[in-house]
Amino acid sequence: MAPPHNRRPGFSRRAQYGFFLAYVVALAGAIVSAVLLALSSLDPPAFASLRASLAEVTTPVSSGISGVGNWLGSIPSGIGDYIAVRGQNAALRKQLAEQHALFMRARSLSYDNRRLLALLQVRERIAEPVVAARLVSSTGSSTRRFAVLNAGSWQGVATGQPVRGPEGLIGRVLETGPNSARVLLLIDPESVVPVRRTRDGMPALAAGRGDGLIDVKSVALSTTDFGPGDVFVTSGTGGIYPPNIPVARVLRRGRDASIARSFAQADTLDYALVQRAFMPEPPPIPVPIPTPKPAKPKKKK
């Protein structure tokens, strides 16, 4: 039997109001989307200001929801860790015994390094931390990859400052508001970071692909081979990222370029550390103020 052509909800006023409200919500959403699309195309600065204002409003809500979700999600893993703690303890004790000799050698090398630096009177430059903030959200399905921090200009966060996590570099601050900041992640196509290979110091560039991975490209004059497992850290070139921060590990073999995965994954982190730029911009050169010339004394008649 063919379905009837009349799809009216009958005599139920509740169903009729529900259909009407659904149409109104859909029409309002289409209008708002069209206005935002036109604003982003015609007036990007105004759209950026509106986006920062919305981030200021939604950041506290996202922080609360993220905290509750992380707490609920940690319950099963906490139970599993409690059950497996005996085996993990034994494995860690065995690993500690195996690494003891390597630790003693590293300690001796560190002592020699400090002594030589003192003899040469070399001063190391260390990037100072600004604030530790929570990563409340990050884009996971778009080709553009950003994250939002619940700290902004009121906490000392400024545009261009590097952001790192426990595992390695996350990205850099792109936009700031009073209590929130937008972070450009390493995997974004607009992100380019100077790096070097740990085993031989070969310079390279780590550029985001937009799909969760990173392209590592050699900048050396000679042909370079990349092998699986090659580790790259920041080189300090460019004056933004401090040196020796882990960035990525190569996944497959390549020649002059290869695909790598970043150590720090923004969607799995709760907190991040914002640091000052490694080499901040120099202060403006003061303009000398001309000194007035003394007036010549008038000749007496």
Does the pLDDT value for residue 2 go beyond 60? no
Domain assignment present for residue 71? The answer is no
Domain assignment present for residue 214? The answer is yes
Domain containing residue 176: 129-275
DSSP collapsed to 3 states, 4-47? CCCCCCCCCHHHHHHHHHHHHHHHHHHHHHHHHHHHHHHCHHHH
Domain assignment present for residue 240? The answer is yes
Q: Binning pLDDT at 50, 70 and 90, where does residue 281 land?
A: low
Domain assignment present for residue 10? The answer is no
Nearest to 274 by CA among 147, 145, 163: 163
Positive or negative: CA dihedral 235, 241, 243, 248: negative
Tally of domains within the chain? 1
Domain assignment present for residue 137? The answer is yes
Residue 172 is encoded by which pair of tokens?
């850099």
Partners of 262 in the β-ladder: 248
Q: Residue 222: how many CB atoms within 10 A of its CB? A: 7
pLDDT tens digit string along 4-60?
A: 555 555 556 777 777 778 888 888 888 877 777 777 777 777 777 777 777 777 777
Domain assignment present for residue 242? The answer is yes
Domain assignment present for residue 76? The answer is no
Q: Residue 159: how many CB atoms within 10 A of its CB? A: 13
The CATH number that applies at residue 251 is: 2.40.10.340
pLDDT tens digit string along 172-227?
A: 999 898 888 999 999 898 999 999 998 888 899 999 988 889 999 988 777 788 88
What is the structure's pLDDT at 7?
Answer: 54
